[in-house]
């Protein structure tokens, strides 16, 4: 299957700094692709290049196998992080205008809009001015504007900011539904919880360079470091002695004779070896592998760039 988007060795310099250094990405169709990175990492620069708002200094972008060209603009929907609408214009006029700018025919746009307005139960907003709406309401309108022309590629930069939890859930469901219908979504965010929940694949950019790229499952698996969480009843001392040299105790918490510990397996030891070692000293209540959250991975990758740079090679 041709990837919907291929970014090849993009370089982008601004007057005083490098925004992107040799960044390459492949976005498979019908996936939710998370584009992560701290502020100022170069995400927005990359997104603007994909949207043809700016051009790269070198490298190229392929859309559906073709070199990115102005005609592709109509197949992309973009919700920028810094977004807004004309305050004095009515909701209806405004969305019609923006829809037509994306190449929709007037009648077509009207029907589609009415469907969306019905879906979001905001039919009575048509004649309201944007400035009369609350921030969250404006965001809803903005979301509709972004997806109305049924783009093949949807680029959402922090889509949940400004939404309350209920509306955030609504938007989340819409995003998943759009994927079901065949859209590919590039999703840029700092909210790692939503990354785990939504993304199939992620790329992490820091200081103009891509540091990490892979499927969410794979990355989390790769970042596991043989850490287990054990809850047991019995003697903590005996338990610790039993670990001996096979595992290292990282953390412990006790409540009467129930203890919670976090241990890291050393050398080639398997979880079963650990269990066998401690079985005679304690009554095991629970035993669980600790998988690092995306949040942990994000922080550790960004903070220990050099160390993990070497590790991340395996994902490529």
Out of 40, 55, 136, 238, point to the residue binding another protein (CB under 8 A).
Answer: 55
Beta carbon of residue 96, minimum distance to another protein (angstroms, whole number): 10
Q: Is 233 helix (H, G, I), strand (E, B) or coil?
A: strand
Distance CA 271, CA 262 (A): 13
208 phi-psi bin (left φ>0, alpha ψ -120 to 50, beta other) = left
- Select from 45-53, 177-185, 187-195, 277-285 the region that touches another protein (CB under 8 A): 45-53
Q: Is 92 helix (H, G, I), strand (E, B) or coil?
A: helix
* Residue 106 interacting with another protein (CB under 8 A): yes
Burial of residue 254 (CB within 10 Å: 0-12, 13-18, 19+) is exposed
Question: Which 8-state DSSP code applies to residue 131?
Answer: G
Q: Is 94 helix (H, G, I), strand (E, B) or coil?
A: helix
* Residue 140 interacting with another protein (CB under 8 A): no
Distance CA 263, CA 288 (A): 11
Distance CA 283, CA 271 (A): 16
Beta carbon of residue 83, minimum distance to another protein (angstroms, whole number): 6
Beta carbon of residue 163, minimum distance to another protein (angstroms, whole number): 17
Using the minimum distance from each CB to another protein, give the nearer residue, 14 or 65. Answer: 14
Out of 9, 14, 135, 249, point to the residue binding another protein (CB under 8 A).
Answer: 14
Using the minimum distance from each CB to another protein, give the nearer residue, 44 or 191. Answer: 44
Out of 145, 147, 202, 205, point to the residue binding another protein (CB under 8 A).
Answer: 145
Out of 31, 43, 102, 281, point to the residue binding another protein (CB under 8 A).
Answer: 102
**Torsion over CA: 45, 49, 53, 57 (sign):** positive
Out of 17, 53, 111, 233, point to the residue binding another protein (CB under 8 A).
Answer: 53
Cβ contacts of residue 74 below 8 Å, gap of 6+?
Answer: 102, 103, 149, 151
* Residue 136 interacting with another protein (CB under 8 A): no
Give the count of residues interacting with another protein (CB under 8 A): 32
Beta carbon of residue 278, minimum distance to another protein (angstroms, whole number): 57
- Select from 46-54, 165-173, 269-277, 298-306 the region that touches another protein (CB under 8 A): 46-54
* Residue 6 interacting with another protein (CB under 8 A): no
Using the minimum distance from each CB to another protein, give the nearer residue, 79 or 265. Answer: 79
Residues in the chain: 316
- Select from 83-91, 222-230, 254-262, 277-285 the region that touches another protein (CB under 8 A): 83-91
Out of 5, 23, 25, 76, point to the residue binding another protein (CB under 8 A).
Answer: 76
Out of 100, 167, 235, 262, point to the residue binding another protein (CB under 8 A).
Answer: 100
Strand residue runs (E) in 86-195? 153-157, 184-189
Asked if 149 and 183 count as a contact pair (C-beta separation under 8 A), the reply is no
Q: Which residues contact another protein by CB under 8 A? A: 14-15, 48, 51-57, 70, 73-74, 76, 78, 80, 82-89, 97-98, 100-102, 106, 142, 145
């Amino acid at each position: 299957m041709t990837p919907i988007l291929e970014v090849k060795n993009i370089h982008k310099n601004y007057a005083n700094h490098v925004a992107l250094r040799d960044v390459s990405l492949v976005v498979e169709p019908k996936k939710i692709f998370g584009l992560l990175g701290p502020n100022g990492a170069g995400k927005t620069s990359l997104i603007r290049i994909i949207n043809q708002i700016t051009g790269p200094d070198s490298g190229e972008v392929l859309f559906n196998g073709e070199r990115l060209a102005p005609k592709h603009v109509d197949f992309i929907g973009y919700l920028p992080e810094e977004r807004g609408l004309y305050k004095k214009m009515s909701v209806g006029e405004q969305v019609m205008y923006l829809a037509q700018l994306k190449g929709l025919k007037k009648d077509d746009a009207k029907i589609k809009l009415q469907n969306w307005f019905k879906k979001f139960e905001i039919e009575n907003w048509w004649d309201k001015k944007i400035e009369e709406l609350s921030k969250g309401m404006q965001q809803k309108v903005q979301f509709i504007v972004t997806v109305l022309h049924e783009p093949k590629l949807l680029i959402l930069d922090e889509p949940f900011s400004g939404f309350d939890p209920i509306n955030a859930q609504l938007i989340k469901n819409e995003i998943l539904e759009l994927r079901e219908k065949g859209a590919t979504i590039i999703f840029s965010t700092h909210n790692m919880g939503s990354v785990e929940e939504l993304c199939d694949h992620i790329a992490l950019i820091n200081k103009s360079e891509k540091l990490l790229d892979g499927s969410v499952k794979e990355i989390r698996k790769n970042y596991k470091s043989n850490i287990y969480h054990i809850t047991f009843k019995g003697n903590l001392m005996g338990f610790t002695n039993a670990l001996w040299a096979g595992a290292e105790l990282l953390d412990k918490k006790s409540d009467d004779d129930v203890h919670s510990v976090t241990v890291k397996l050393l050398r080639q030891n398997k979880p079963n070896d650990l269990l066998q070692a401690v079985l005679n000293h304690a009554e095991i209540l629970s035993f669980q592998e600790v998988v690092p959250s995306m949040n942990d991975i994000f922080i550790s990758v960004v903070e220990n760039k050099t160390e993990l740079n070497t590790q991340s090679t395996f994902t490529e």
